[in-house]
Amino acid sequence: MTIPVIDFSTLNGNKRSETMALLHEACQKWGFFMIENHDIDARLTEKVKKLVNEYYEKNLKDGFYKSELVKTLEKQEKTFDKDWETTFFIWHRPKSNIKEIPNISDELCNTMDEYIAQLILLAEKLSELMSENLGLEKTFIKKSFSSPNGIGPVMGTKVAKYPECPNPKLVRGLREHTDAGGIILLLQDDKVGGLEFYKDGKWVEIPPSKNNAIFVNTGDQIEVLSNGLYKSVVHRVMPDKDGSRLSMASFYNPIGDAIIAPAPKLLYPSHYCYGDYLNLYGKTKFGEKGPRFEAIKNMGNGHAHTNNNIV
């Protein structure tokens, strides 16, 4: 299976509609895809990966290998309730907590901030394109992910390393799950794989990212907003005997008090009086049902009904 690749450089030219159709299909049928030519500076992504790897070596690695989980695996016992990963979270928007990360250098702080500033532009662009593909206002996802007073969406990053694992059969790097939030943009290792998505009854291995590609998947809130048209897909990380995988998953998510609901435009008409439907049907029987559904939806969900045509 070849994972869809969305080439952002084609969005402004005569290939736009082709690329938009590919994106729509990727969101509907896959729930994950790669983005290439996205304008995020490759030198910046290389630098942020290098600095995070150094941070892991200095601050996280020793602690991880002294953990109870490592001891459990040494006894050759299977582990079902832990993940073979070492992680920390950074919040970027609306308020950054990056300076509170223990032992973080100014260089890593600044590089991460620069990278995230560019990544937010990509996340917003993607949220606009997805809204457009759903036939909604361009700002629909952004507004839905914001609080009633306009704060949001939230941007955060889960930084994770999946250290070399002496016995990868006994544990998962990260157990099977779907993501809770919105749009997830992943900057991942360019050498060590391990990420897998479940599609059509099979686990699809996501290869390490080459050419500065950003891997994207959609979370549960996109599934709800799109009324199930776009799906959040189950995925996991398998640990590796020889490689230590880096994963920086940045989330473009709703803020805590955002009210989430399926876009009304994507819903079937509801709560109308059947008599009204029949009345309309009588006039539109030989037309397409789509416009009829739209018309009945616009009748105020049954409040404007009449009772003189019930059959």
Binding site for Fe ion (CB under 5 A): 179
* Cα end-to-end span (Å), the chain: 52
Least separation in angstroms between CB 158 and Fe ion: 8
- For residue 176, the number of C-alpha atoms closer than 13 Å in the C-beta half-sphere is 7
Amino acid at 187: L
Least separation in angstroms between CB 235 and Fe ion: 6
Closer of 223 and 276 to Fe ion (Cβ):
223
E strands, the chain, in order: 5-7, 32-36, 86-93, 154-162, 174-177, 183-188, 195-199, 202-205, 214-218, 235-237, 245-253
Closer of 179 and 276 to Fe ion (Cβ):
179
- Residue 282, token pair as written in the block: 């009588």
Least separation in angstroms between CB 219 and Fe ion: 8
Residue in the shown chain whose Cβ atom is closest to Fe ion: 179
Closer of 140 and 215 to Fe ion (Cβ):
215
The CB density around residue 208, as the number of other CB atoms within 10 Å, is: 17
Least separation in angstroms between CB 193 and Fe ion: 15
Closer of 179 and 240 to Fe ion (Cβ):
179
Residue 277 to residue 258: CA distance in whole angstroms: 34
Closer of 32 and 272 to Fe ion (Cβ):
32
- Determine phi and psi for 195, rounding to 5 degrees: -75, 135
Picking from 263, 249, 257, 264, the residue whose alpha carbon sits closest to that of residue 123 is 249
Closer of 196 and 240 to Fe ion (Cβ):
196
Picking from 158, 137, 174, the residue whose alpha carbon sits closest to that of residue 253 is 158
